[in-house]
Amino acid sequence: MSRILVLGGTRFIGRHIVEQCITHDDDITLLYRGRSPSPFSGIARHVLSDRRAPTSEAAAALAEPWDAVIDTSAQDLEDLRAVLPLLGDVGRYVLISSCGVYRRDPGSNGLTERSPTIPADAAHPVRASATRKLRCERYLERRLASMAVPLLIARLGLVIGRHDDSERLAYWLERALRGGDVLVPMPDHQPLQLVDAADVARFIRTAIEQQLTGIVNVAGPTTTARVLVDTVLTHAGRSVTACRVGEEFALTHGIRPWTEIPLWLPASSPEIALMSVNTTRAVRAGLTHRLLKDSIAEALTWQALRRRWSQRWLDRSREQHLLREWHG
Ligand SMILES: NC(=O)c1ccc[n+]([C@@H]2O[C@H](COP(=O)([O-])OP(=O)(O)OC[C@H]3O[C@@H](n4cnc5c(N)ncnc54)[C@H](OP(=O)(O)O)[C@@H]3O)[C@@H](O)[C@H]2O)c1
């Protein structure tokens, strides 16, 4: 049992981490703003504050002794500048970061923890959030070293699972639940690496116990777009058919990869490089992976209860119009 302060913890990955800590009987405090409702009332202590401007209650909580601080919500330096000076006796600090910080080198043979990162001052709009994350990593490395607090930076790949509010896997889940002919633009062999948030959470809790420090990649096993789409469609329990129109057809008809059809990365996309993350260090330290079909089945059950369609996704009538054209 450990005393753990989670900076965040109420939405998706943080929520899974808190659930995991609770199963270990940890004494948990969540510091968050209260915009997302916490499912842990009565189980964990809650301190409501914006971390960028801590209230006196938050300042007092930060100054308490903690076996570990797990930071799921640091997105930029402003999230750290107000918090770090208030910390007292902290056993270790875990930053949830992202594999997005790696440089996208074409033909890269797998991203290890030593692979080059993007410049911390890069202005590329798509990578702006990764740039900010990298600045957080660097800041924590400097500041925590001077405070002699061990730091673990967990760089996560694409995470899926219950409570995933992003518009990525949810597209395929929702599309499958709606049934009928589904336009699939991805080539069968497009690589994907998806890690279940429950596996991330179990790993983070194990890593704390093992006193792991430094940088660690936490990503899923490599799979393909074909396997993912087939798994989602098979488990949806609806009458649904994949229409594999191919990348060229989809691109010439102006369908936007990733935004209109999430998880589609055209062969020319530099982001493909992020689908070959080497997780040897994490696996040696205890990362295990659920079967994709089990993750998908659970995510489908969750999606079936929320049933949300994003305005950014490929419109159903346009999809059916394109499919009529494709069928000729
Ligand atoms: N999803 C992926 O595939 C993926 C991949 C790589 C990395 N990541 C990283 O994973 C991390 C975890 O994300 P998550 O949303 O799942 O975590 P989470 O801990 O479940 O949710 C985010 C938490 O942060 C709190 N928060 C946000 N801004 C705050 C502020 N200024 N002050 C205090 N609390 C604040 C939110 O609550 P309130 O809004 O109520 O304050 C919420 O509790 C993120 O850092 C993300 O970059 C995700």
21-45 pLDDT, tens digit per residue, is 999 999 999 999 999 999 999 999 9
pLDDT tens digits, residue range 187-241?
999 999 999 999 999 999 999 999 999 999 999 999 999 999 999 999 999 999 9
- As a whole number of angstroms, the distance between CA 164 and CA 298 comes to 11
Centroid of ligand 1 to alpha carbon of 14 (angstroms) = 7
- The torsion of the CA quartet 112, 118, 119, 123, rounded to 10 degrees, works out to -160
Name the nearest CA neighbour of 186 among 263, 105, 111: 263
pLDDT per residue over 58-101, tens digit each? Answer: 999 999 999 999 999 999 999 999 999 999 999 999 999 999 99
Residues with CB under 6 A from ligand 1: 8-15, 32-36, 50-52, 72-73, 96, 98, 156, 158-159, 166
Q: pLDDT-based confidence at 296, cuts 50/70/90?
A: very high
Number of Cβ within a 10 Å radius of residue 126: 11
Please state, in angstroms and as integers, the Cα–Cα distance from residue 222 to each residue in 69, 200, 214, 280, 289, following that order.
30, 16, 24, 13, 11
Question: How far lies 80's CA from each of 74, 133, 252, 265, 280, in Å?
Answer: 7, 11, 45, 33, 29
pTM over 0.95: yes
Instruction: Indicate the SS3 state at residue 254.
Output: coil
Cα-to-centroid distance, 8 and ligand 1 (Å): 6
In this structure, the strands spanning 222-224 and 191-196 are antiparallel
What are the backbone dihedrals phi and psi of residue 89, each rounded to the nearest 5 degrees, phi first? -90, 100
Pocket of ligand 1, candidates 32, 45, 94, 136: which has the most ligand atoms within 8 Å of its Cβ, to mutate? 32
What's residue 127's pLDDT? Answer: 85
